[in-house]
Structure 1
Amino acid sequence: MSRFTHEVHMRWSDMDAYRHINNSAYLAYLEQARVAMFFYRHENFSSGTVIARHEIDYLLPVVYDPQPLQVQMWIDGVRGARFTVHYEVFDHGRLVARAATQCVTFDFTVDRPRRLSAEEVEVLRGFADDAA
């Protein structure tokens, strides 16, 4: 499968005093896109994922626009209880940010990480970037 793409809309309130989208808004954009990706193929994915780490490289400033940002995502680094979601964020076709989120599968009943099932690994591998 190629990259998963999702559009996210900016809010006027996402702008800061410097008249560009504030860096903190990107976490919400990434979350919206990540949730959309997981709901796209959730049939074999158990509940219980927490975020262990975010990394964001801001490449160009973004000014509010009613046109949505395009977020392209793919997954790699699938291990026993973790995986990494990678993102490239585009504004009007320009690459404006790169990011990565390390996710850990979690069992909330015992309050600790849990291993990915074979079905979950298969779902995640379906989001691998063929070009990477």
Structure 2
Amino acid sequence: MSNGAEVKEYAVGLRWRDLDNQGHVYHGTFLTLLDEARTAFLADLGFENPSAYVLARLEIDYLRELTIDPPAIAARFIVCAVGNSSIELVEEIASRNEICAKSRSVVVLWDATGRKSRALTEQERARVESLRIENEGRS
């Protein structure tokens, strides 16, 4: 995943309710796991309100089954593009060092009061740009 970029990784716990009838983590839960880790990623970057974003785009490829053993996953993030109010991320969910899903998202920062997107501050932009990889290919 890295191609020389700085990869940020976050552990997210799994819960029994995350499983479907076959003992797999339900496909919709992958999105919740990524959302939880993405919020932690933005918090680590010093965003004032790290949960104040909306997804403008999300694509995901499910690569292998994910079970509750072990009871946590690793969510990994790389910044591949930065816009005025958006950040494009390449994301992975891994378990036992095997990639279970790859995704690509476009996060748009959100102004809850004005009910519209908001621009990155200079400080936010500097932090995010410091992690951006040049010429990241499509996952």
State the distance in 2 between where 1:62 and 1:128 align: 29
1:59-118: CA deviations, max 9, x gaps? 001122144211111112201111112211111011111012211122222222222222
State the distance in 1 between where 2:116 and 2:135 align: 34
- Tell me, yes or no, if structure 1 residue 103 matches structure 2 residue 107: yes
Aligned with residue 37 of structure 1, among 32, 36, 41? 41
Over 4 Å off, 4+ runs: 129-132
State the distance in 2 between where 1:129 and 1:18 align: 38
Unaligned runs of 5+ residues in structure 1 are none
Superposed CA RMSD:
2.0
Q: Which SS does the other structure have where 2:27 is aligned?
A: coil
The CA deviation at 1:39 is: 1.6
Unaligned runs of 5+ residues in structure 2 are none
TM-score, normalization by structure 1: 0.86
Q: Relative contact order, CA 8 A, sep 6+: which one is greater?
A: 1
Count of residue pairs brought into register by the alignment? 130
- Identity, in percent, stands at 24
State the distance in 2 between where 1:23 and 1:126 align: 32
Q: Which SS does the other structure have where 1:24 is aligned?
A: helix
TM-score, normalization by structure 2: 0.82
Q: Residue 91 and residue 51 in structure 1: after superposition, are their counterparts in 2 closer, same or farther (change >3 A)?
A: same
